[in-house]
Amino acid sequence: ETYHLVMHRLQTRRLWLPGRITLKGILSPLQEQKMMEELRSLGVSNVRSALHPSQLLALIAVIVLWTLDPVIAKALLSLPLAIPPLDVTVTRLFIFFVACVCLAAVERFRRTSQLRRIPLKDPLLWLAGASLFGMALCTYLSLQELLPQQYVTLTYAGGAFFPVLRSFAGKKLGTKILLPLVTLALIIASPLTLFLFRPETPWQSLGLGMGAAIGFMILTVCTDEYKRRHRIQARLPDFFAVLSGIGFFLCICLMFWTGLPSLSPLQFSAVAGHTILFTTLPYFFFYKILTTKEWRRLVTYFAPGIILTLLGQVLLFGSIDLASLLPLIALYALTFGFYRKYTYTTLPE
């Protein structure tokens, strides 16, 4: 009876290896945890959960768009477009808000039943909106001086810091503590490596890059917790409309320091296209996946994205920073090993 509503979507396939069975379907995190516990009680061993093929395709799209995002953003800030970072921030949040409102309107028109409104009194919603604003502002200010590769190093280090640090809380790692300790040390050392090997890089840009990473992590955690509290999976477009509205409301004060009226149609179209393709679509896909998967299980899939960032940087700017390449690769490798070891569910033999 626990899985009565979803059993018609599950497919069972016996693999060529003896004793191996694959069960394919999409379950919520609670349903997945319940099934894991029941399989364990039945004596089933070596149980793993993976992404559904449709989720994997959506995640690949997210990885491609997000890893190319800093490259395209850097191009918007550089010649020949040379759009000021404040103008890009305000335009991005405005276009993102309009796109989310249109998406919510289309989804509401297609609904056959009326759903409840998004709860506005929860502080998590406002914290997530503030993080969306802060992340956008820090991103474009830091990319004025940083290469996309350096920005990715900072954002990945900042994004991985809190989950790795959280692994120490309430867990007895015992002799397995070496991997988290080394991973945590490398996360802290990565920004320092950029500063030591590139002393000409303004420390403000390094701090802004870390701020963008922390903003994304706060946004992800708050969104995940907000969805868990209020069960908004079916109201995700409405949630994005409200979230983007909060972010745009906070950036209105920046309009006094921008030159938006002087933007050419080409500049505005470039920012609008960048926002829709590299912000709106991947955000929607990513948080749609989060309705059935915990975000900590998705981190390892982003590791190959470094290749796209480097290729885009070389093609558009013809440069690569070897000083930050080694710590970035090491950081990806260690965090990949950490997440595989400590966040994936494997039942003992």
Per-residue pLDDT tens over the stretch 48-78: 666 777 888 888 899 899 889 999 999 999 9
Which pTM does this prediction carry?
A: 0.77
Per-residue pLDDT tens over the stretch 99-140: 999 988 988 888 777 788 899 999 999 999 999 999 999 999
Distance CA 141, CA 207 (A): 10
With a cut of 80, say whether residue 14 has pLDDT above it: no
Distance CA 270, CA 254 (A): 20
CA distances from 306 to 28, 301, 329 (A): 30, 11, 8
Per-residue pLDDT tens over the stretch 287-296: 778 777 666 6
Residues 100-106: contacts with CB within 8 Å, 24+ apart? 100/237, 100/240, 100/241, 100/243, 100/244, 100/245, 100/280, 101/241, 101/244, 101/245, 103/237, 103/240, 103/241, 103/280, 103/284, 104/237, 104/238, 104/240, 104/241, 106/237
Per-residue pLDDT tens over the stretch 16-30: 445 566 666 666 666
Q: 25: helix, coil or strand? A: coil
